Amino acid sequence: MNLKKILTFAGVGLVLFFLIAEPQQAAQLVHNILGTLQTAAEALITFVKQLF
């Protein structure tokens, strides 16, 4: 096995552990990430609208 596969499996395992051990915190983290992405998309849309 190469290092990339080992790190990928370790990362997936860590995410699964976090989801199982702390599901409410994991859901809140996903909610925060999506909210940040939404805000960034809205800012980008506003910027593009101002150009034209």
- Give the separation between CA 45 and CA 16, rounded to whole angstroms: 34
Is the separation of the CB atoms in 25 and 17 below 8 Å?
Answer: no
What's the pLDDT tens digit per position in 12-38? Answer: 999 999 899 999 999 999 999 999 999
In this predicted structure, the answer to whether residue 1 has a pLDDT above a threshold of 70 is no
pTM: 0.66
pLDDT at residue 30 in the model: 92
In this predicted structure, the answer to whether residue 52 has a pLDDT above a threshold of 90 is no
- Give the separation between CA 30 and CA 22, rounded to whole angstroms: 12
The secondary element (H helix, E strand) that includes residue 32 is: helix 23-51
Confidence of residue 41 (pLDDT cuts 50, 70, 90): very high
Token pair listed for 41? 């998309």
